[in-house]
């Protein structure tokens, strides 16, 4: 095990292939775990709240509302600035890639849809009334959750624009989404809320399967192999969970 002291607050972290990317105030740190190469990517202003990789680009959502993109130059073994996506008026806190689109959720209460080829914004979704904390692509749907206490399910119309097809209401602000399948391959949506719980919903019915609890807010949920998933909370605890098979019915 290796411990690295970055000397600052970590806003987000992702891995892609041999690379690990860490969002820090005013820069992104990149490590290649195979070659031990360490790089600093400049450009962000303020905190880096979210990162994602798509179409050969690394995207970072920042405190000033920009989404910065870098491309890797194999000849120089460096990441080079590729674009700066402007449009959000407040910090970008969630990013996801799907169907040749980049979706960004922001503190300005909107979701912007970007074409991954042109890097142009093609639609702005304004149905949420508070910070859009998390966005998730699942099959042909986009799901989003917000501090406005709702999960929204978006679907593309015949013209290609996204519209809300279902809104699920909760009693608390919602923080992060994760989709997976249980031990019987049934689709399950996990959504954490600011009452320190994680809701488990059957899809597509949104009937509540149960709840799991933490000491503080769960800000990270990550799917693992073989029905395992992980939760990370504000108390610094990482918990490992696993779906178990449904108990067999007892014969009468």
Q: Give the start-to-end residue ranges of the domains of the chain.
A: 1-140, 170-242
Tens of pLDDT, residues 37-60: 899 999 999 999 999 999 999 999
Tens of pLDDT, residues 134-158: 999 998 899 999 999 999 999 999 9
Q: Mark 148-162 as b/e (b = at least 16 C-beta within 10 Å).
A: bbbbbbbebeeeeeb
1-140 has which CATH code? 2.130.10.10
pLDDT beyond 70 at 180: yes
């Amino acid at each position: 095990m290796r411990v690295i002291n970055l000397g600052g607050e970590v806003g987000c972290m992702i891995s892609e292939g041999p690379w690990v990317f860490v969002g820090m105030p005013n820069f992104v740190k990149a490590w290649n775990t195979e070659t031990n190469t360490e790089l600093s990517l400049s450009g962000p202003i303020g905190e880096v709240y979210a990162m994602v990789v798509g179409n050969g680009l690394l995207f970072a959502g920042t405190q000033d509302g920009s989404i910065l993109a870098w491309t890797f130059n194999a000849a120089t073994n460096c990441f080079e600035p590729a674009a700066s996506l402007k449009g959000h008026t407040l910090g970008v806190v969630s990013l996801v890639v799907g169907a040749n689109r980049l979706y960004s959720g922001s503190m300005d209460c909107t979701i912007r849809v970007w074409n991954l080829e042109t890097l142009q914004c093609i639609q702005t979704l304004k149905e949420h009334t508070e910070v859009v904390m998390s966005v998730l692509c699942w099959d042909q749907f986009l799901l989003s959750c917000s501090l406005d206490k709702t999960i929204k399910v978006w679907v593309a119309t015949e013209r290609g624009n996204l519209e809300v097809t279902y809104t699920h209401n909760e009693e608390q602000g919602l923080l992060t989404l994760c989709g997976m399948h249980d031990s019987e391959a049934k689709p399950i949506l996990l959504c954490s809320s600011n009452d320190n719980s994680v809701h488990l919903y059957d899809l597509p019915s949104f009937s509540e399967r149960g709840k799991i609890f933490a000491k503080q807010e769960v800000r990270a949920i990550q799917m693992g192999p073989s029905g395992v998933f992980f939760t990370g909370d504000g108390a610094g605890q990482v918990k490992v969970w696993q779906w178990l098979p449904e108990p067999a019915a007892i014969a009468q």
